[in-house]
Amino acid sequence: MRSSLLLGALLTAPLACAAAAAAEPAPSGADAAARSDLDAKVAKAAAGQGREVSIPFVDHGGIRSWRAVDRDTLLLEGTHGRWYRAELMGGCFELPFAHSIGFKSNPTGDFDRSSAVLVRGQRCQVRSLTETAPPAKSRRGAVAPPAATAAQPDGAAPVEDVTLPR
């Protein structure tokens, strides 16, 4: 009798687990949003968007302007009006407050994921460089400044390569 009860329990356990999994509630709003964001990133990667790029001739004026998004992200405008998103490794703590920055290009003069950004003496290595849409414009037509950017005096002189004022 004991063996038949044990055998019955072993046979019905997988069925009960399958029924419980099917009866789980739909993902909450945060879970659904995270899933949607992940699906969008996968679709973007499949479409070839978000691939690594390089900005040519940085050491000869290849970057027209820049905008700090936060301490990890920098938007760069190339000479032909294309915008790029540079993700930095480890955070560049002075970036949101900088008035000027330097660009350390690779040996060929291009700016890519092997390049660095120089901010007040801090070398911030680029993790990823991808093409992106231009940032939003303000009512006057100028590029809107990033949120939470505070103006502070920048006493550091540029160290190497190109330095662009805002």
Q: Which domain holds residue 62?
A: 58-140+154-165
Mean pLDDT, the chain, integer: 73
Q: Is the pLDDT of residue 83 over 90?
A: yes
pLDDT category, 60, cuts 50, 70, 90? confident
Q: Is the pLDDT of residue 62 over 50?
A: yes
User: Percent helix, strand and coil across the chain, each rounded to 5?
Assistant: 25, 30, 45
Angle, alpha carbons 96-130-136 (nearest 5°): 55
In-domain check, residue 83: yes
Give pLDDT, residue 136.
85
Query: What is the C-alpha separation between 126 and 132, in angstroms, rounded?
Result: 16
Poorest-confidence range of 7-16, 60-69, 101-110, 125-134?
Answer: 7-16
In-domain check, residue 30: no
In-domain check, residue 88: yes
pTM recorded for the entire structure: 0.56
Please tell me the total count of domains within the chain.
1
pLDDT in tens, 25-49: 555 666 766 667 666 655 554 443 5
